[in-house]
């Protein structure tokens, strides 16, 4: 039996967040996490209005990536890759911004397709259970995936994108629901019907905050509180309604959520609820694992072979 692998780290860079995960394979081939952290540089801010990624968000993202790389290196986990998701696919200057960030960081930035994003989210959340169905609502898109990644659907609607629509047009829950539902159903119409599947799992920042909201009496947001929490579509919509009635500071003060997500969380909750409704599911469990876990495992296993 071989010993632990060399340690490595990856970053998942999306519309809102940059999430670091570093670790190694132990002697049995299982992932041993050595460092994990996150920043919310909001790279996609303004994208809905302009169709492009702006200078200020780019600078925030660059600073966040450099900071996270430093944390990885301090933990003995050299950063090997940044995985870019929907924000780069949607932006008309996404390719140029990805290249600029990679140049500044000195680490490859790989922009994945919606299908690859779905596969990675499923592998990270479900591991060896291919029948599970994963719903991953990010800032710019919502992925649904099952059958070990063989069936996947990527809808161009996410927490940040929908929240920007609300800022442009005014907040209206039913309008948000209609927009999310239409985009998810259109994406589902372009792929084969959802195959029979097992448990439904919600992943991503919105899902983790929803899991934390099940602990309404908690003093503050805790990632650990979200793991395996069960949420219902109706409850997600009720939380969206309650949060939308408050300003961002009040949301963060009165609910156990991440302050940086307070502005987009109501819209993200709507996306999750409509994704569940579109496949006829009422309730699902939250997982704190996701794309970054699969990307790191791919990197570590590739080096070990």
Q: Measured between alpha carbons, how far is 213 from 239 in angstroms, rounded to an integer?
A: 8
pLDDT above 80: residue 191? yes
Domains and CATH numbers, the chain: 8-111 (3.30.420.40), 127-286 (3.30.420.150)
pLDDT digits (tens, 9 = 90+) for 287-305: 999 899 999 999 999 865 5
Provide the pLDDT for residue 128.
Answer: 65
Provide the pLDDT for residue 39.
Answer: 93
pLDDT digits (tens, 9 = 90+) for 3-29: 788 999 999 999 889 999 999 999 898
pLDDT digits (tens, 9 = 90+) for 60-104: 999 999 999 999 999 999 999 999 998 999 899 999 999 999 999
Provide the pLDDT for residue 214.
Answer: 92
pLDDT above 70: residue 2? no
Strand partners, 32: 24
């Amino acid at each position: 039996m071989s010993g632990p692998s060399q340690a490595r780290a990856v970053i998942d860079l999306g519309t809102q967040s940059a999430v670091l995960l570093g670790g190694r394979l132990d002697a049995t081939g299982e992932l041993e996490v050595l460092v994990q952290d996150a920043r919310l540089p909001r790279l996609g801010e303004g994208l809905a209005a302009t169709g492009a990624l702006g200078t200020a968000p780019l600078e925030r993202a660059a600073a966040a990536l450099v900071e996270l790389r430093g944390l990885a290196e301090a933990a003995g986990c050299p950063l090997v890759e940044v995985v870019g998701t929907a924000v780069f696919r949607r932006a008309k200057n996404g390719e140029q911004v990805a290249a600029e960030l990679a140049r500044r960081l000195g680490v490859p930035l790989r922009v994945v397709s919606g299908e690859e994003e779905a596969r990675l989210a499923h592998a990270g959340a479900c591991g060896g259970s291919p029948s599970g169905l994963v719903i991953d609502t990010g800032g710019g898109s919502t992925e649904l995936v099952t059958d070990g990644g063989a069936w996947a659907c990527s809808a161009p609607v996410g927490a940040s994108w929908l929240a920007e629509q609300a800022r442009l047009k005014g907040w209206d829950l039913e309008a948000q629901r209609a927009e999310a539902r239409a985009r998810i159903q259109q994406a589902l119409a372009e792929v084969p019907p959802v195959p029979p599947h097992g448990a439904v799992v919600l992943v991503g920042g919105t899902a983790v905050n929803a899991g934390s909201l099940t602990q309404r009496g908690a003093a503050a947001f805790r990632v650990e509180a979200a793991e395996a929490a069960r949420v219902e579509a109706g409850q997600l919509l009720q939380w969206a309604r309650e949060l939308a009635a408050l300003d961002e500071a009040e949301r963060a003060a009165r609910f156990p959520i991440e302050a940086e997500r307070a502005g987009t969380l109501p819209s993200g909750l709507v996306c999750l609820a409509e994704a569940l409704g579109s496949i006829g599911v009422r309730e699902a469990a939250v997982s704190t694992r996701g794309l970054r876990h699969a990307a790191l495992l791919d990197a570590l296993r590739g080096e070990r072979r």
